Every structure is written in structure tokens, then in C-alpha cells.
Amino acid sequence: MNLPAILALAVTQGLTEFLPISSSGHLVLANRLLGVEEPGLLTEVVLHLGTLAAVLVYFRGDLIDLARGSIGSFRDPDALSSREARRLLIALAVGTVPAVLFGLLGADRIEPLYEDPRRTSFALLFTALVLLTTLAIPRGRSRVGPARALGIGIGQALALIPGVSRSGMTIAAGLHLRVERREAARFSFLLSIPAILGAAVLEIGGAVGRGDPAPVALLGVGFLVAFGVGYGAIALMLRIVSGGRFGWFGIYCLLVGLAGLLWL
């Protein structure tokens, strides 16, 4: 592991964590087509934490309001900030459940998919189709409540399959459920916090006692680059979704999926 390698990994992590193009799908195809080796587990943890930090910093205002509203619920449960905090906390909890259940119950079936680039290519085509359908959706005005959060959470659960984009499925689900565009993207990114944190915790468990090819200094660089690129990707995605151009990422996923099928 050297500086160019860690920079490439960090940039890829920062972009694909939030752009709807499936980081897992790209990894599977790159492993087969280019012989790209997976990074060490500790490197993966650090890069995940870099993108997690990007979400926490970008949405720090929302998270502070959420914390204040939650605390305020004990003093004035009928206050607007308290009701808003409860709404968002319940929605995030409901939205997280499907991925947890799917991950626990389907882990044995999901793991082999990372060795099957053909199925990954089909999954990218599925992602493309879902993204392209959002171009025909009228602009929504709704907010995320428990029912819509469940639908968005099911989209996040599907993204455990390599080739299916987490941000793509969650934002598309929100748009199809007539959630306001920026609200759909915002909720998707807030919902990524427990997802990224959970992935990092699982990887930390696997990394304990194992070596990693990257020294501490390179890991620090990787964290900062993943953070910076991820922060920029969030800002970019919010503008793209608000402008109604989110679905055009489907063309990219379509091309990558078809290329994977043709070459493999």
C-alpha cells in the first residue's frame, strides 16, 4: 500500500459512498477485470470513518437540532422542535430496520454474490432502471414519516446486494413516494450514518489481530481525502437531486452493467 493507492481508494470511497453508482459493484468488477486487490480491513474501516465524518459534519446543524429536540421532549413534548425530533428519530429507526434484518437473515446468500461479477452486472442494470424511472416522477411535496421511511429502508436493504446503489435506492424510493427532492436526499444521507457506522464496526471486529498494508500516516491521509471527497459528493448530490437530474446517473450504471456483461 503506497500513497497513490491510498489516494485512489479514498477518492473512490468518498465518491461512490454518496453518488448512486454502487461502490460494491465497481469493486467486484474491478477485481475480476483489472485484478485489483481489496484493501486491508483496517484501511476499509478508516475510509468508511472518513465518509461517516463527512456526513456528520455536513449535517451537523440537523444533528444538533435533532439532539436538542430530543432533550427538549422531556421538558416540552408538544413543542415543534420536539415533535420534529421525534418524527425524524422514528423515521430513521424504521428506515434502518430492513437492512439490519436483511443483513442478518440473508448474509449467507449475499456473501457469494461478491464472487459473481455477472450477477453484479445485472444488479447495476437494475440500479440503472430504477434511477432512470425517477426522471418521470412529478415533484413531490411530502416529508418522511414512518411509512415512507419503511419504503426507503427497503431500498437500503436491497443495496446490500453488490451492484445495487445504497444512495440510488434510498433517494429513488423517496422520490417515488413523493418526498420532496431535497428532503429525500437529506434523509438518505442521514440514514447512511447507522449504515456506515455498522459496517465500520463489523470491519473493526474482523481487523482485530490482523495486519494491514497501510502505515498510520497513509491511513491518516486516506481518512482526510475520503472525508473531503465525501463532503463534496454530498453537496453535489443535493444540488443534482434538487435540480431533478438525479436519474441521469442511470445511464452511467447502464453502461457499466452492459460492459461488465460483455467483457465477462
pLDDT tens for 144-184 read: 999 999 999 999 999 999 999 999 999 999 999 999 999 99
Q: Given a cut of 80, is residue 196 above it in pLDDT?
A: yes
pLDDT at 191: 95
- Determine what percent of the chain is predicted with pLDDT higher than 90: 58
CA angle 14–157–260, rounded 5-degree value: 60
Q: Which residues pair with 179 in a beta bridge?
A: 142
pLDDT digits (tens, 9 = 90+) for 93-125: 999 999 999 988 888 888 888 888 999 999 999
H or E, element range at 6 = helix 3-16
The C-alpha cell of 83 is what? 415533535
CA distance 224 to 217: 11
Residue whose C-alpha is closest to residue 237's, from 21, 53, 10: 21
- Residues in the chain, total: 264
Residue owning grid cell 460494491: 24
Q: Given a cut of 80, is residue 91 above it in pLDDT?
A: yes
Q: Given a cut of 90, is residue 126 above it in pLDDT?
A: yes
pLDDT, average across residues 199-222: 72
pLDDT at 128: 97
CA distance 105 to 57: 33
Mean pLDDT of the chain: 88
Amino acid at position 83, single letter: R
pLDDT at 65: 87
pLDDT, average across residues 206-214: 57
CA distance 259 to 264: 8
Number of H helices, E strands in the chain: 11, 0
Higher pLDDT, 219 or 57: 57
- Alpha-carbon 98 to chain mean position: 15
Residue owning grid cell 452493467: 257
pLDDT at 86: 87
The C-alpha cell of 85 is what? 425530533
CA distance 67 to 86: 10
User: What one-character-per-residue DSSP string does 176-189 give?
Assistant: HTTB-HHHHHHHHH
CA distance 134 to 130: 7
pLDDT at 215: 78
